Amino acid sequence: MKIAIIGASGKEGKCLTEETVLRGHDVTAIVRDAQKVKMSDVKILEKDLFDLTYNDLKNFNVVIDAFGAWTPETLPLHQKSLNHLAGLLKNHEEIRLLVVGGAGSLYVDSDHKIRLMDTPEFPDAFVPLATAMGIAFDDLKKTEGVNWTYLSPAADFAADGERTGKYKLGGDEFIVNSAGNSQISYADYAIAMIDEAENGKFLKQRFSVVSE
């Protein structure tokens, strides 16, 4: 498959790029600074996400959005960036849009009224980020004509965690692993994402992943 990874120079973007290359796909890293891509066996498109056009994406089977924004002034870019990508791919459902999502919008009740970010245990420091990502996800769900998939990680999303090759899948609800913990490494998250890129089990759906 031809797969584009937006934000391939970020921490999760690098894991996704490495996993995709490992499986022999035709990979293009879409980044603002080409010098930050250290892998020699990937193509590079040096371009800002907001400058992308449909022509930049039309030849890919899958576009993976690993864009991230963390500072207070840039948090609204989660919504803006996802709206932009969804707009480019609207009515072009032959191209899948896979999104690196957040855990805060996962539901903790079967009625789907209470999200993880709404609970007292959710760290205050992460509420602004979770809220921004939740707004972006809500917009995506309302968008018609886009073949999207949104993957929420576990609550403990460990950048330097071990690559075990094993994981447990969930849906819109918060889940834990066999030890009662909600955690996943960046590397195992990347495995789950590329498995979905290859298998297409969660079309126009959100799913979630935790370690076994």
In the chain, how many domains are there?
A: 1
CATH number at residue 118: 3.40.50.720
Measured over all CA atoms, what is the biggest interatomic distance in the chain, rounded to whole angstroms? 48
In the prediction, which pLDDT does 93 show?
Answer: 98
pLDDT tens per residue, range 124-179: 999 999 999 999 999 999 999 999 999 999 999 999 999 999 999 999 999 999 99
Contacts 24+ apart (CB under 8 A), 177-181: 177/210, 177/211, 177/212, 178/212, 181/154, 181/156, 181/210, 181/211
In the prediction, which pLDDT does 40 show?
Answer: 82
Provide the domain limits for residue 116.
2-210
Confidence of residue 84 (pLDDT cuts 50, 70, 90): very high
Identify the helix (H) or strand (E) that includes residue 168. Answer: strand 168-170
In the prediction, which pLDDT does 39 show?
Answer: 87
In the prediction, which pLDDT does 107 show?
Answer: 98
pTM of the model: 0.96
